[in-house]
Amino acid sequence: MVRVGDHERVRDPANLEFTKHQMQDMLEAVGSRIVEHVGSLSRQEACGDNEDLDFVRAMKEPAPEAPVALESILDRYFNEWVHRSFNSASPGFMAYIPGGGVFPAALADLIADTTNRYTGLFASAPALVQLEANVLTWFREWMDFPPSARGLLTTGGSMAGFNAIVCAREHLLGHRISKGTLYVSSQVHHSVVRAAKLAGFQPERVVSVAVDGRFRMCPDALARAMRRDRKRGLVPFLVVSTAGTTNTGAVDPLGAIADLCAREGVWHHVDGAYGAFFYLCRKVRALRVRLAGLPRADSLTLDPHKGLFLPYGTGALLVRDGQLLRNVHAIAAGYLPAAADQEEFYDPHCYGPDLTRSFRGLRVWLTIQMYGTKKLRTAIEEKYHLAHEAAAEVAKIPGITIDAAPELSLFAFHVDGGTVADQNRATLELVRRIARRKRVLISGCWAGDRYLARVCVVSFRTRRAHVLRCVREVRHVVASLVRRRVQRS
């Protein structure tokens, strides 16, 4: 067993290094726990006890003065803490936009953290930074962006969107920032509105454009809004469209919006945090058509921790004209080595606001190495087909209306009967009851005056059996809701 506080460290109180033996023991202790945990995920509940706040209150504690044994911490983590959660690693997790947590990324994090080289600057670890550069080049190629494109691996989609807004602002507004207006649909992810605020735009400068009956931004309404604002002396500079909205998975008409932006001289950012990686599945005709406008974007958010199955902590931004991103961020400092030759190499600190940062390129790189692109693409494609199969099955359930058929791998529906308020209540109850049964987890959302249940299939662990399980859960709970209604009336 691992005992922190071996006698040699007691003799040398400032020594924080562990012996080889100790490290091996710790790796074994951690390794056996995680292998057991991951191996039992399909048997674990999709949703744990998140309600016991007394338990959480009791967790507040002072920092320990003396070392605590790793074993006892692992015991508590795996037995007491980790299950108090939405089990976002579970194959039954189809709520929100599921993440993943592929194993190669975890290995990469361990390797990156233990070797701990400085990958904020090309000059300090050129070979390692090149791995991250390769990842960005692959993303660029996958998304059919031109060679001029550069990008950035971020902590998530929110930060990718933020960097895109700043880039568009710097390029198109400069000192006119107070007049700048940006356009989103009513279905935009809230992180975009927050990012706009961080970038200096008050909420009244973020114009919400109407959507059509399938929750997609209306290009005509967008054009009208821009015309109206120009007349008022404002300066439209940016449209943020979404390739896969969080509510219903809608893909905005990317091509039409790109056309309009080109005519108006406005930056077009596509938020593909959920949807961008579906662009890899070009063999699926519907996807090829729906996402055809994606490579025309001026910038694109991708979220490897959603659509590429990585564990949380990795988003990405691509900017079509990489020089514009560099113009925002590249600043020399007397204490830093010169930036790398930008024609040939990639220097992360010239393309984003971070200097010191985790080596997140390695987790993406190792994932792509260990699976190969084909397998990843096949898995993404499977999620598309599974969501379609599930939606077709749910549509057959008496008492259900599909509000949004899957465009990617997310669909939304409600429970019929009575007024809209009755339907909302029943749909809310459906989502709640499914959660309480703990076999699968789906979530709901408000879209206008409607509460919709939504199923999103994008965890790599969610396979056909789990999706069919989800359909059975919906069927079962809807039947009991309808029975209850019949008994009442």
User: Which residues form the interface with ligand PLP (CB under 6 A)?
Assistant: 97, 156-158, 189, 191, 242, 246, 271, 273-274, 303, 315
Among 144, 134, 142, CA closest to 345: 134
H helical segments located in 314-419:
322-329, 361-371, 373-395
Gyration radius (Cα) of the chain, Å? 24
d(C-alpha 91, C-alpha 100), whole Å: 9
Q: Give the shortest CB-251-to-ligand PLP separation in angstroms.
A: 11
Q: Where are the beta strands (DSSP E) in 199-234?
A: 206-209
With respect to ligand PLP, which residue has the nearer C-beta, 88 or 246? 246
Determine contact, residues 303/156, Cβ cutoff 8 Å: yes
Determine contact, residues 352/152, Cβ cutoff 8 Å: yes
With respect to ligand PLP, which residue has the nearer C-beta, 243 or 397? 243
Q: How would you classify residue 399: left for phi > 0, otherwise alpha for psi between -120 and 50, otherwise beta?
A: left
Q: Give the shortest CB-88-to-ligand PLP separation in angstroms.
A: 12
Q: Encoding tokens for residue 49?
A: 């006890």
Q: Give the shortest CB-181-to-ligand PLP separation in angstroms.
A: 20
With respect to ligand PLP, which residue has the nearer C-beta, 241 or 424? 241
17, with CB counted inside 10 A (0-12, 13-18, 19+), is exposed
Q: Give the shortest CB-97-to-ligand PLP separation in angstroms.
A: 5
With respect to ligand PLP, which residue has the nearer C-beta, 273 or 328? 273
- Ordered DSSP codes for 62-76: PPPSS---HHHHHHH
Q: Give the shortest CB-192-to-ligand PLP separation in angstroms.
A: 7
Determine contact, residues 135/364, Cβ cutoff 8 Å: yes
Half-sphere exposure of 368 (CA within 13 A, CB side): 16
With respect to ligand PLP, which residue has the nearer C-beta, 164 or 273? 273
Q: Give the shortest CB-357-to-ligand PLP separation in angstroms.
A: 16
Residue with the shortest CB distance to ligand PLP: 157
With respect to ligand PLP, which residue has the nearer C-beta, 161 or 295? 161
